[in-house]
Structure 1
Amino acid sequence: MAIDASILVLNGPNLNMLGVREPQIYGSMTLDDLEAACHERADQLGLTVDFRQSNHEGELVSWIQQARTENDGIVINAGAYTHTSVAIMDSLILSELPVIEVHLSNIFKREPVRHHSYISPVARGMICGFGPHGYLLALDAIANIIDRD
């Protein structure tokens, strides 16, 4: 599959601490390593990846709004905002783009507060529990959705 599409890959709070933060849960890969892996997979799929991270909810919302006119799809790991942010949910709806939600850990095997997602109802699908490989699966999925649509 070789499509020509631009994907916004968004990472929320604390994901800049990958490789340091709770490696027993999140692994030893850094965010830079994860970005490199996403670019490699994107190249194989004919995608362009705009890979970003912010600890600030408003910045994530602004980037999602910007994606409406600049990207063809969104892969998002909103971190803790997954469980709290109606603003991010609303901006994803407004984007009118296909969205894949991704989490490094299996959020359903963790604390009950992490079981609810404001992203899932507006996403085409969710991938969780596969560590960094989940991002590659999300890129495969979004490429398939864009190619199919």
Structure 2
Amino acid sequence: MTKPIHILNGPNLNLLGTREPEVYGTMTLADIESACIDRARDLGVPLVFRQSNHEGQLIDWLHDANVNASAVVFNPGAFTHTSVALHDAVRAIEPPVIEVHLSQTAAREDFRHHSYVAPVARGSITGLGLQSYLLGIEAAAKCL
């Protein structure tokens, strides 16, 4: 059996649906999870979906993915722009990591233009809302 794709979500994504809907839309994280489960099922790939507001937890989950995942779809949230530790964790694991973002980070505040994750991810998909996740799952599945 194929190892699952792990979808990891960073800080404040638990507030989707109410947090800045003009930027992130009105879908909740539960809505995104449901759509991701459906897409993974269509592709015949098991899925693990997680969210944490804590950098260390995300690092632990990346380490776990090294053994228990076939690929990772990762929305590091604001840690994208600040975390060398997440950069190092992504670099240290074998499964391909696809970075995703709901918003187009390059069109936002200057501090959001740099990603510490992108240089060590297999690829990045940004600015497409829910489609960023769904395309991330498809890309991860093609990497298998």
- Range of TM-score over shorter length: over 0.9
The CA RMSD measured in Å over matched residues stands at 1.0
Which TM-score applies when normalising by structure 1? 0.94
Residue identity opposite 1:52 in structure 2 = R
Contact 1:4 1:46 in 2 (8 A): no
State the number of aligned residues.
144
1:124 alignment partner in structure 2: 122
What is the CA-CA distance between 1:4 and the residue it aligns to? 3.2
Q: Percent identity?
A: 53
State the AA in 2 paired with 1:13: P
Tell me which of 9, 25, 33 is aligned to 1:11. Answer: 9
Out of 73, 80, 83, the residue aligned to residue 81 of structure 2 is 83
Aligned equivalents of 2:85 and 2:119: distance in 1?
Answer: 14
Distance 2:43 2:106 in 1: 30
User: Distance in 2 between the 1:44 and 1:5 partners?
Assistant: 16
Separation (CA, whole Å) in 2 of partners of 1:61 and 1:4: 23
Among 56, 59, 67, which residue is 1:69 paired with? 67
Q: Deviations over 1:94-146 (max 9, x none)?
A: 11110100000000000010000011001111000000111000001111111
Letter in 2 for 1:141: A
CA distance in 2: counterparts of 1:102 and 1:125, whole angstroms:
9
Determine if contact 1:8/1:75 at 8 Å carries over to the other structure: yes
Q: Distance in 2 between matches of 1:7 and 1:66?
A: 12
Written as runs of structure 1 = structure 2, the 5 A alignment for 1:1-149 is 4-146=2-144
Counterpart secondary structure, 1:19: coil
What is the CA–CA distance in structure 1 between the aligned matches of 2:17 and 2:34, rounded to whole Å?
14
Following the alignment from structure 2 to structure 1, what is the Cα–Cα distance between the partners of residues 90 and 50?
16
- Structure 1 unpaired stretches of 5+: none
Q: Which runs of 5+ in 2 are unaligned?
A: none
The question of whether the paired residues in 2 share the 8 Å contact of 1:5 and 1:46 is answered with: no
